[in-house]
Amino acid sequence: MKEMLVGAKRILVVDDEASIRDLCARVLQRAGFVVVTAGGGEEAVGRLRAEGFDAVISDIRMPGVSGLEVLDAAKQAHPGIRVVLITGFGTPQTLERARHSGADRILTKPFNPVELLTTVREILPSEA
């Protein structure tokens, strides 16, 4: 198991699909990030209000609180936070709304682990 670095970036991964959430968490943890997961938007908003994160990776389409609402809550709680939205159902209107609301990147499902890690490294450059 790779040791967590002091000062490692904290990432909140939000998806109602456990398989996607777990895949993202494993890939990011192996790369040295501290990962917290949430099974839905409501849980994510609660965590964002209570904890500090450097980035959020959230599905857009979830029951209840959507990824766009998670994006809004993230930017309100932590104005400098970086946000990657993931979707399998991106309409042009939804994607435009995400960009306008401050999403740093949008990944379309299915994406692969390399694509995820490259995207996160682009939005969270290391301090080294």
Interval 14-33: pLDDT, tens: 999 999 999 999 999 999 99
Q: d(Cα 88, Cα 94) in Å, to the nearest integer?
A: 12
Residue 5 belongs to a domain: no
> Looking at residue 20, which CATH number applies to its domain?
3.40.50.2300
> Tell me, what DSSP letter sits at residue 87?
E
Residue 35 belongs to a domain: yes
- In total, how many domains does the chain have? 1
Residue 128 belongs to a domain: no
Residue 52 belongs to a domain: yes
CA 26 to chain CA centroid, Å, is 13
> Tell me, what DSSP letter sits at residue 122?
H
Residue 60 belongs to a domain: yes
At 91 the pLDDT is: 79
Dihedral sign from CA coordinates of 49, 28, 23, 116: positive
Tokens representing 78? Answer: 């932590």
Query: What is this structure's pTM?
Result: 0.91
Domain range spanning residue 92? 10-123
Q: Give, for all 128 residues of the chain, the pLDDT tens digit.
A: 344 455 789 999 999 999 999 999 999 999 999 999 999 999 999 999 999 999 999 999 999 999 999 999 999 999 999 999 999 877 788 888 888 989 999 999 899 999 999 999 999 977 54
